[in-house]
A and B are shown apart, each in its own frame.
Chain A
Amino acid sequence: EAQVTQNPRYLITVTGKKLTVTCSQNMNHEYMSWYRQDPGLGLRQIYYSMNVEVTDKGDVPEGYKVSRKEKRNFPLILESPSPNQTSLYFCASSFEGASTDTQYFGPGTRLTVL
Chain B
Amino acid sequence: ELKVEQNPLFLSMQEGKNYTIYCNYSTTSDRLYWYRQDPGKSLESLFVLLSNGAVKQEGRLMASLDTKARLSTLHITAAVHDLSATYFCAVDTAGGGADGLTFGKGTHLIIQP
Q: Please judge, given known A-B contacts A90-B42, A105-B43, whether A42 and B99 are in contact too, CB under 8 Å.
A: no
Main secondary structure of the interface of B (DSSP, over half): strand
A26-48 interface mask toward B, CB cutoff 8 Å, 1 = contact, 0 = none? 00000101010000111111001
Q: How far is the CA of A59 from the CA of B53 in the complex (A)?
A: 29
Q: How many residues of B contact A (CB 8 A)?
A: 24
Contact A105–B42 (Cβ < 8 Å): yes
Inter-chain contacts of A45 with B (CB < 8 A) = 98, 100-102
User: How does the 8 Å CB contact mask read for A84-112 relative to B, with 1 for contact and 0 for none?
Assistant: 00000010000001111011111110000
The reply to whether A102 and B105 form a contact with Cβ atoms under 8 Å apart is no
Tell yes or no: B93 within 8 A of A by CB.
yes
Knowing A50-B99, A58-B98 are in contact, say whether A42-B104 is a contact too (CB < 8 A): yes
- Asked if A99 and B42 make an inter-chain contact with CB atoms under 8 angstroms apart, the answer reads no
Whether the Cβ atoms of B45 and A42 lie closer than 8 Å is no
Contact residues in A for B31 (Cβ distance below 8 Å): 99-100
**Does A62 sit within 8 A of B, measured CB to CB?**
no
How many angstroms between the C-alpha atoms of A31 and B92 in the bound complex?
14
